[in-house]
Structure 1
Amino acid sequence: MPLVILSLVLSMFISKHADVPPGVTVDRDLVYATVDGKDLKLDVYWHPDATKPMPLVVWVHGGAWRKGSKKNPRAKGLLDKRYAVASVQYRLSQEAIFPAQIHDCKAAIRWLRSNAAKYKVDPDRFGVWGVSAGGHLVALLGTSGDVEELEGDLGVTGVSSRVQAVS
């Protein structure tokens, strides 16, 4: 009996996070920057049928700075409400020391803003959301705006990395 309950709970968790509502397109493994020969990637979940630009929420995964993945952001609720969602990969602590991680996240924001029209998102309505290490990074994104020392020079430059909301 406990095995059956565990299986049911796990299946609810997996389906909750893997569901993509009808009409949502997922573009995976888009390169937003390259550093030391490594491509940094993100996924965009968007509504190709949108008639006006939508707000974008960027998911930054947690994992104690050592692990974690951009795969399967908890995005279904946001997508159901007609938000676009991006999920970002950043260099982990064993790959690069701080402030590389915030540089990566800011590069992702700049890339997304420079590609806003393609994904039908409003470049003036970007929010960020994360937990654990991702929560720390989104707090930095929300409080550092265009602070040059934390901006980095990866990927698209000359575009703002400022976000309008943090959760």
Structure 2
Amino acid sequence: MKKIISAIFYFLVIPLGKLSAQSENTIFPLGTISYKNISYCNDTLTNHQLDIYTPSNGKNSYPVVIWIHGGGWRKGDKSDAMDNMSSTVKEMIAKGYAIVSINYRYSTDFKFPTQIIDCNKAITFIYNHAAKYKIDSDNIALMGFSAGGHLAALLGLSNNNKIKAFYSEAEDPKFKIKLVIDYFGINDITTLKGPGTDNPHTGVTLLLGASASERPDLAVFASPINYIDKNDPPFLILHGDKDLAVDYTQSKY
């Protein structure tokens, strides 16, 4: 998975934007194979859909990067940030990596751990259907932005901890995470400062249904840092020190 690390260095700080149908044609290399709006829960919810992009070089399988969008857990779309990371996207596909971008349910209607349950469900779907889409189920990396960075970190660190509440069927995951790329995600809700920490209509307070001070147990439960152990995958964490939304100290340990 080392090539993934080199590929993502093209953009260290990026604005997030939704990918349009027209811009998609200019972002992915010519011949990229795409599968759009696949339900990973066998329902009709848009928030339970994913997109798959694979190279067209004829290989039997490709290592995969799971793309997890940001938006404060309350908005966003599976194509977010691709416009602004076109060089990175092109590099990953050109180097022989598949990309799977996923949606998940919003905190406006569903509180934590719904979001991590959905992400695990999406990865389980990819693992179970790997052969159909020519994906190497033994080489799965995660790439998340802001709220998606939090979810990517939590997915990667809890993957070997057997947290039943993080899975819809309350069973141990079959898949293993090989690498996590965390763009300015929240890693310790209990120490988070700034916007979204007390406003009940946004941020972590909306995610948890209470502030961290009101429900420290939930804040600990939802914080990736509490699942660190020696068996975790390698991480690449990127965070600008001028970030006004997520305190950059969330990425310093």
Aligning the two structures, in what range does the TM-score lie when normalised by the shorter sequence? 0.7 to 0.9
Give TM-score, length-normalised by structure 2: 0.54
- Assess, with a 3 A threshold, how the Cα gap between structure 1 residues 34 and 101 changes in structure 2: closer, same or farther: farther
Show the counterpart of 1:25: 33
Task: Report the number of matched residues.
Answer: 152
Give TM-score, length-normalised by structure 1: 0.80
Alignment check: 8 A CA contact 1:113 1:159 kept? no
Q: Distance in 1 between matches of 2:117 and 2:155?
A: 10
| SS of aligned partner of 1:136 | helix
The offset of 1:131, in angstroms, is 0.9
The offset of 1:48, in angstroms, is 4.4
- Assess, with a 3 A threshold, how the Cα gap between structure 1 residues 130 and 17 changes in structure 2: closer, same or farther: farther
Provide, for residues 83-117 of structure 1, a one-character-per-residue CA deviation record: whole Å limited to 9, x for no partner.
00000000111021000000000000000011111
Show the counterpart of 2:235: none
Of residues 158, 169, 177, the one that matches 1:144 is 158
Q: Distance in 1 between matches of 2:78 and 2:113?
A: 19
Of residues 45, 55, 58, the one that matches 1:47 is 55
Alignment check: 8 A CA contact 2:117 2:167 kept? yes
Alignment check: 8 A CA contact 1:48 1:120 kept? no
Q: Distance in 2 between matches of 1:96 and 1:161?
A: 25
- Assess, with a 3 A threshold, how the Cα gap between structure 1 residues 99 and 158 changes in structure 2: closer, same or farther: closer
The offset of 1:159, in angstroms, is 5.4
Show the counterpart of 1:38: 45
Residues 84-163 of structure 1: pairs in structure 2 closer than 5 A:
84-146=98-160, 147-153=162-168, 160-163=174-177
The offset of 1:16, in angstroms, is 8.7
Bigger radius of gyration among the two: 2
Which gives a bigger RCO, structure 1 or 2 (Cα 8 Å, sep 6+)?
1
Q: Read off the aligned partner of 2:59 and give its amino acid letter.
A: T
Q: Distance in 2 between matches of 1:111 and 1:85?
A: 14
Deviation >4 Å, runs of 4+: 13-18
- Assess, with a 3 A threshold, how the Cα gap between structure 1 residues 87 and 17 changes in structure 2: closer, same or farther: farther
Aligned sequence identity (%): 36
The offset of 1:43, in angstroms, is 0.1
Q: Read off the aligned partner of 1:62 and give its amino acid letter.
A: G
Q: Read off the aligned partner of 1:38 and give its amino acid letter.
A: L
- Assess, with a 3 A threshold, how the Cα gap between structure 1 residues 23 and 31 changes in structure 2: closer, same or farther: same
Alignment check: 8 A CA contact 2:130 2:136 kept? yes
Unaligned runs of 5+ in 2: 1-18, 182-253
Q: Distance in 2 between matches of 1:114 and 1:158?
A: 14
The answer to which structure has the higher strand fraction is: 1
Q: Distance in 2 between matches of 1:79 and 1:150?
A: 34
Q: Distance in 1 between matches of 2:143 and 2:34?
A: 18
Q: Distance in 2 between matches of 1:16 and 1:34?
A: 26
Unaligned runs of 5+ in 1: 1-12
- Assess, with a 3 A threshold, how the Cα gap between structure 1 residues 29 and 165 changes in structure 2: closer, same or farther: same
